[in-house]
Amino acid sequence: MKIKNICCIGAGYVGGPTMAVIAKQCPNIKVTIVDINEERIAAWNSKNLDNLPIFEPGLAEIIEETRGKNLFFSTEVNKAIDEAEMIFISVNTPTKTYGKGKGMAADLKYIELCARQIAKVAKQDKIVVEKSTLPVRTASAIKSILDNVGNGVNFQILSNPEFLAEGTAIQDLLSPDRVLIGGDTSTKEGEIAIQALIEIYSNWVPKERILTTNVWSSELSKLTANAFLAQRVSSINAMSEICEKTGADIREVSKAIGMDSRIGSKFLNASVGFGGSCFQKDILNLVYIAKSYGLNEVADYWEQVIIMNDYQKNRFSDNIVSTLYNTVSGKKITFLGWAFKKDTNDTRESAAIKVADNLLNEQAKIAVYDPKVVEERIFADLDDLKTRPLEENKSLLTVESDPYLACKNSHAIAILTEWDEFKNYNWEKIYSNMQKPAFIFDGRGILNKKELEDIGFTFYKIGSGK
């Protein structure tokens, strides 16, 4: 079966880049990305590519190449569903904020709405692909809705989780470690659907990197991959504190253990704590699933990854307060970075938010500079915590567009995101304009301790012993 027309529901961080890459690599397939968020669709359609809703290196170039040719952004959800042979569901699956499973389970209401809409609109057979990250066995719920609400058309459900990381999304999509497709191999229709999706990816992904499994393995592999990745960060962050107490250096430890091919060298950077929209949400979801099967030890094991991460963020802000003579009230502290990692404007669950909130509780004055995050986003992030009124946040925190201005008259600088540009600043100039003693708290371990100490800074680097 040759697919000619694809629809993707959800024009977010996953839907936008994944479909743009499919459109680029498959010029004969028409790809339409739909969303109920009109503003977001308008931004995807904006003439000025600087106004795309998502910043990802290499994305704007692909949008320019494909948009209006075989890639379309639209709010006409029903029309796109009707026209497509294959529909990707790429909507958000946040942690539930109400009812049973509140604060843990994935909220599947957006997924269910999509399934109901597809069922209502579809007049011909469709392949429905789960792109969103979902609890294991969600496909059976989607299938049940489609089969019971639909107009008697035949639906095949595939699981095709996305493994891209933000900041490297385009590179990850163009050259993925693997593409995972879960489907029903016990029926001929299931096989045909799997083959149709394999054929799409085969346009640019080597066959040996396309892996097929049963649907449940595919769904669970996505949660497992994120849990393992986050666990590595929490493990190295746990060791970072031991390093600080003992005089070891976490970067040396990471290098030493990473050279063991069984451990591997990636994802061993100690930090102020992991952020991003998925690690915490997916682990909480895993913990909830384990608990729902009565697997309490399994649940506790994975929950510890989050407990460690929360601890790392609090430990960082506590250290700032205690180092600044146990009070930061009225003191200016500069945040370099607000995004949850470099090369993205995404701030969801960024460690910077919690660290800022802790310091604002201590009445610090914070100045933030981030090369890609806009002021409205920063205040919205703090507002979401509901710790204090927006006006109070606005009286305590300012957002600067010039890093040197952000650092001027500051008592301390905290590095929250590992943006490359921070390494190349004129640190002598920054030092000369700061209050003395001038402190730097490097939560990403990116700055050179000796150079900064030679300038005169009192320098703390995460995971570095005295």
Ligand X SMILES: NC(=O)C1=CN([C@@H]2O[C@H](COP(=O)(O)OP(=O)(O)OC[C@H]3O[C@@H](n4cnc5c(N)ncnc54)[C@H](O)[C@@H]3O)[C@@H](O)[C@H]2O)C=CC1
Ligand Y SMILES: O=C(O)[C@H]1O[C@H](OP(=O)(O)OP(=O)(O)OC[C@H]2O[C@@H](n3ccc(=O)[nH]c3=O)[C@H](O)[C@@H]2O)[C@H](O)[C@@H](O)[C@@H]1O
Q: Which of residues 7-26 bind ligand X (CB under 6 A)?
A: 9-15
* Alpha-carbon distances of 265 from 73, 221, 252, 254, rounded to whole Å: 39, 22, 12, 7
Place of tokens 């294991």: 136
Binding segment for ligand Y (CB under 6 A), chosen from 74-82, 276-284, 361-369, 421-429, is 276-284
**274 touches ligand Y (CB under 6 A):** yes
Binding segment for ligand Y (CB under 6 A), chosen from 20-28, 81-89, 156-164, 313-321, is 156-164
Find the shortest distance in angstroms from Cβ 274 to ligand X.
13
**Which residue number, 233 or 320, has a Cβ lying nearer to ligand X?**
233
**Which residue number, 267 or 379, has a Cβ lying nearer to ligand Y?**
267
Binding segment for ligand X (CB under 6 A), chosen from 33-41, 145-153, 209-217, 394-402, is 33-41
In the shown chain, the binding pattern of residues 35 to 74 toward ligand X, with x for contact by CB under 6 A and - for none, equals xxx--x----------------------------------
Find the shortest distance in angstroms from Cβ 169 to ligand X.
7
**Pair 31, 70: CB distance under 8 Å:** yes
The span from the CA of 308 to the CA of 238, in Å, is 7
**119 touches ligand X (CB under 6 A):** no
Q: Of 25, 222, 43, 63, whose CA–CA distance to 132 is shortest?
A: 222
Q: Of 217, 196, 230, 210, whose CA–CA distance to 87 is shortest?
A: 196
List, as residue ranges, the binding site for NAD(+): 10-15, 35, 40, 91-95, 132-133, 166, 278-281, 348
Find the shortest distance in angstroms from Cβ 428 to ligand Y.
28
**Pair 13, 341: CB distance under 8 Å:** no
Q: Which two tokens stand for residue 432?
A: 């000369």
Return left, alpha or beta for 267; rule: phi > 0 is left, psi -120 to 50 is alpha, else beta.
left
Q: Of 406, 356, 364, whose CA–CA distance to 384 is shortest?
A: 356
* Catalytic site positions: 278
DSSP assignments along 402-440, one per residue = SHHHHHTT-SEEEE-S--GGGGGS-HHHHHHTS-SS-EE
**Which residue number, 140 or 395, has a Cβ lying nearer to ligand X?**
140
Find the shortest distance in angstroms from Cβ 34 to ligand X.
6
**Which residue number, 73 or 274, has a Cβ lying nearer to ligand Y?**
274
**Among 54, 77, 86, 164, interactor with ligand Y by CB under 6 A:** 164
In the shown chain, the binding pattern of residues 147 to 166 toward ligand X, with x for contact by CB under 6 A and - for none, equals ---------------x-x-x
Q: Which of residues 83-112 bind ligand X (CB under 6 A)?
A: 90-93, 110
Place of tokens 């469709």: 126
3-state helix, strand, coil in the chain (%, to 5): 45, 15, 40
The span from the CA of 307 to the CA of 214, in Å, is 32
**133 touches ligand X (CB under 6 A):** yes
Q: Which does 53 bind (CB under 5 to 8 A by kind): ligand Y, ligand X, none?
A: none
The span from the CA of 185 to the CA of 103, in Å, is 35
Q: Which two tokens stand for residue 351?
A: 């460690």
Binding segment for ligand Y (CB under 6 A), chosen from 54-62, 95-103, 210-218, 274-282, is 274-282
Rounded to the nearest 5°, which phi and psi values hold at 246?
A: -110, -15
CA atoms within 13 A on the CB side of 150: 22
Q: Which of residues 221-260 bind ligand Y (CB under 6 A)?
A: 226, 229, 233
Q: Which of residues 122-151 bind ligand Y (CB under 6 A)?
A: 133
Query: By the criterion CB under 6 A, which residues form the site for ligand X?
Result: 9-15, 34-37, 40, 77, 90-93, 110, 113-114, 132-133, 162, 164, 166, 277-278
Query: By the criterion CB under 6 A, which residues form the site for ligand Y?
Result: 133, 162-166, 226, 229, 233, 267-269, 271, 274-279, 340-341
